[in-house]
Structure 1
Amino acid sequence: MTSAHAEEVRAWAVGTPGPVASGPLEPVRRTVGAPGPGEVLVEVEACGVCRTDLHLAEGDLPPHRPATVPGHEIVGRVLAAGEGVTRFAPGDRVGGAWLRGTCGTCRYCRSGRENLCPYSVYTGWDADGGFAERTLLPADYAYPLPPDADPAELAPLLCAGIIGFRALRRSALPPGGRLGIYGFGASAHLAAQVALADGATVHVLTRAQAARDLALSLGAASARDAYDAPPEPLDSAILFAPVGDLVPVALEALDRGGTLAIAGIHLTDIPALTYADHLFQERDLRSVTSNTRADGTDFLTTATRIPLHPTITRYPLTAAPEALHDLATDHINGAAVLIP
């Protein structure tokens, strides 16, 4: 265990949720103290800007506490370890992700489905996250990260990558199958690389031309507008765009026995579905809820094996509102990352 003194750091917190133009992020000073039992104090090297952060700032996700510091794609160095921490020591590089804690005793935790734990808590929603110079993380829910990699390139892996990986699993893509990806932001462009590395044919359906160009550069077989039909029936599809209108569109694009996985934590209302057009012939519709720590470990191993190449746009920590605005207006290709 290493002790650390409390220190005041710069951060951004969600004040009054609302459209990004209304300025929901407010600059704050936070006192970050020594780590408690089971915690590590982390100096933030980089923090990805996730669409979930945008949903929290704009009020699509109701705040769990006032003036929370968002950010849950955290890369940093351990400054101090609290009592009982044996996994990490000062100087280690660690990653902080969305899932921050679970009860460990409910039927979901006991059956390997801790992502469904009713008592789960989340970084940047239930506790302050990484839009800050320093933060505290529970050691049991942090990930060891390569010490020499670019922290800005590691950051999107901690949520966009992990959630995309779980969504890919939930889509039940068969070996060598045909995958449709709706929306092509931070999570989608990483999931596509995993699917392509495993031999899938990937078709991307998204509204932004820059995103379509990125998809083709990564090896997608086609890239069309979000409401277009793919050039062939799909075995599986993943909806990353938080647009409920695309659910029937994606279901209609599935071949018999196909599966659609909805990856986002927030989705606008889904229009009426008809059994014959959208669900008959054993089409499956699935949601994706958070992730397990096993998902995170498996994905980070996969990311190293492939290896993945995130497309990132860097912003200084002082420009967090601009990063959120660019995300909201589709002016980011790939992932946005804050650098303190």
Structure 2
Amino acid sequence: MVARPGPVATRPLERTRLPDPEPGPGELLVRVEACAVCRTDLHLAEGDLPPRRPRTVPGHEVVGRVEALGPDAQGPPPGSRVGVAWLRSTCGVCRYCLRGAENLCPMSTYTGWDADGGYARRLTAPAAYVYPLPEDEPAEELAPLLCAGIIGYRALLRADLPPGGRLGIYGFGASAHLTAQIAIAEGATVHVMTRSAAARELARRLGAASAGGSADPPPEPLDAAILFAPVGDLVPVALEALDRGGTLAVAGIHLTDIPVLNYRRHLFQERTLRSVTANTRADGREFLRLAAEHRPRVTTTPYAFEEADRALSDLAADRVEGAAVLLMS
């Protein structure tokens, strides 16, 4: 759990023994097989993302097995494999929910932020918000799909990439390496800009047309771009790389301050800057369908459950290739 938010070097996570959770009305009790480590977990641990409750157990990319159903739960039976993701609940009746934008619901709650998440042996989740998962895929490879994959797909939608278009990706971690593969499989040309030499090599192996430094100009104007790195200084860099009418989507829940933009250099010619806020369940279902169709290569760095602190430290220091994943023994 996050005992005292602070720099990852201060070890803000604390291992403790908690009673097994009890599923409430409409909920499932899930035994965790694997939980991927998201940069949002790092933001929560370090205090960039203000905690919503004290001593919260983080983790929202969970692969597990249903152990029990709570009262009135309509969900998969015990033994079923399910995924638990970031979006935990919405009100279902506000104007955002009613128009299909449940990710903007003011009453939305989130796994590992409003309720204990997957850095644990067990967790509860509303049955209506879990995803059925295949039985024959390794849990280590499925876990990153549940946030890195889903939110990357949401960012791709927000970027308005035209068919066969040129996509720039800034930062190349867990989410970016999955998004790039889906875009390439759908016919896009992908250019990657990232500070990590190892990530640039991974991008080339996965089919990127080019891979350069984080502030380097791409070899051609971009129709769309996604900023995965939580670095506000890269916003004007990415906007300037866009062709006329291009769109930049900022995928993170946290971003450092954006420098002053120059209207003519960065926004004129109908360039668009957009944020990405969570995802809808429809996004999740469609991404998982695309992942089953295109079967992206999921690159992971595994850690034992007891090594969550080290996983966060490695993520903060860019020592993780692909996605860090906690494996339950």
Tell me if both proteins adopt one fold, taking TM over 0.5 as the criterion.
yes
Q: For residues 210-232 of structure 1, give each alpha carbon's deviation from its aligned partner in whole angstroms, at most 9, with x where no partner exists.
A: 00000000000000000000000
Tell me the distance in 2 between the aligned counterparts of 1:327 and 1:138.
Answer: 29
Tell me the distance in 2 between the aligned counterparts of 1:33 and 1:180.
Answer: 43
CA deviation after TM superposition for structure 1 residue 314, in Å: 0.6
Structure 1 segment 317-336 matched on structure 2, within 5 A: 317-336=305-324
Map of 1:20 onto structure 2:
8
Tell me the distance in 2 between the aligned counterparts of 1:84 and 1:207.
Answer: 50
Aligned: 1:179 with 2:176: no
> What amino acid maps onto 1:330 in structure 2?
D
Calculate percent identity across the aligned residue pairs.
Answer: 69
> What amino acid maps onto 1:222 in structure 2?
S
Map of 1:57 onto structure 2:
45
DSSP 3-state at the match of 1:156 = helix
Contact kept, 8 Å, 1:181 with 1:205, in 2: the verdict is: yes
CA deviation after TM superposition for structure 1 residue 86, in Å: 2.5
Map of 1:132 onto structure 2:
120
Map of 1:107 onto structure 2:
95
Tell me the distance in 2 between the aligned counterparts of 1:77 and 1:286.
Answer: 37
Tell me the distance in 1 between the aligned counterparts of 2:45 and 2:309.
Answer: 10
Aligned: 1:226 with 2:229: no
CA deviation after TM superposition for structure 1 residue 87, in Å: 2.3
Tell me the distance in 2 between the aligned counterparts of 1:28 and 1:54.
Answer: 19
Structure 1 gap ranges (5+): 1-12
DSSP 3-state at the match of 2:200 = helix
Tell me the distance in 2 between the aligned counterparts of 1:57 and 1:94.
Answer: 26
1:119 to 101, 104, 107: 107
CA deviation after TM superposition for structure 1 residue 33, in Å: 3.3
- Deviant stretches of 4+, over 4 Å: none
CA deviation after TM superposition for structure 1 residue 311, in Å: 0.1
Aligned: 1:72 with 2:60: yes
Map of 1:6 onto structure 2:
none
DSSP 3-state at the match of 1:17 = coil
DSSP 3-state at the match of 2:15 = strand
Tell me the distance in 1 between the aligned counterparts of 2:24 and 2:254.
Answer: 33
Map of 1:89 onto structure 2:
77
Map of 1:292 onto structure 2:
280
Structure 2 gap ranges (5+): none
Q: For residues 296-333 of structure 1, give each alpha carbon's deviation from its aligned partner in whole angstroms, at most 9, with x where no partner exists.
A: 00000000000122100110000000000000000001
Q: For residues 276-313 of structure 1, give each alpha carbon's deviation from its aligned partner in whole angstroms, at most 9, with x where no partner exists.
A: 00000000000000000000000000000001221001
Map of 1:46 onto structure 2:
34
Contact kept, 8 Å, 1:179 with 1:202, in 2: the verdict is: yes
DSSP 3-state at the match of 1:199 = coil
Structure 1 segment 166-205 matched on structure 2, within 5 A: 166-205=154-193
DSSP 3-state at the match of 1:14 = coil
TM-score with structure 2 setting the length: 0.99
Map of 1:243 onto structure 2:
231
Q: For residues 9-34 of structure 1, give each alpha carbon's deviation from its aligned partner in whole angstroms, at most 9, with x where no partner exists.
A: xxxx0011011100100001111233
Aligned: 1:275 with 2:263: yes
CA deviation after TM superposition for structure 1 residue 85, in Å: 2.0
RMSD, matched Cα: 0.6
DSSP 3-state at the match of 2:16 = strand
Contact kept, 8 Å, 2:12 with 2:46, in 1: the verdict is: yes
Tell me the distance in 2 between the aligned counterparts of 1:92 and 1:118.
Answer: 31
DSSP 3-state at the match of 1:300 = helix
> What amino acid maps onto 1:60 in structure 2?
D
Q: For residues 166-211 of structure 1, give each alpha carbon's deviation from its aligned partner in whole angstroms, at most 9, with x where no partner exists.
A: 0000000000000000000000000000000001000000000000
Q: Which moved more, 1:18-27 or 1:78-87?
A: 78-87
DSSP 3-state at the match of 1:31 = coil
> What amino acid maps onto 2:281 in structure 1?
R
CA deviation after TM superposition for structure 1 residue 84, in Å: 1.8
2:134 to 137, 146, 163: 146
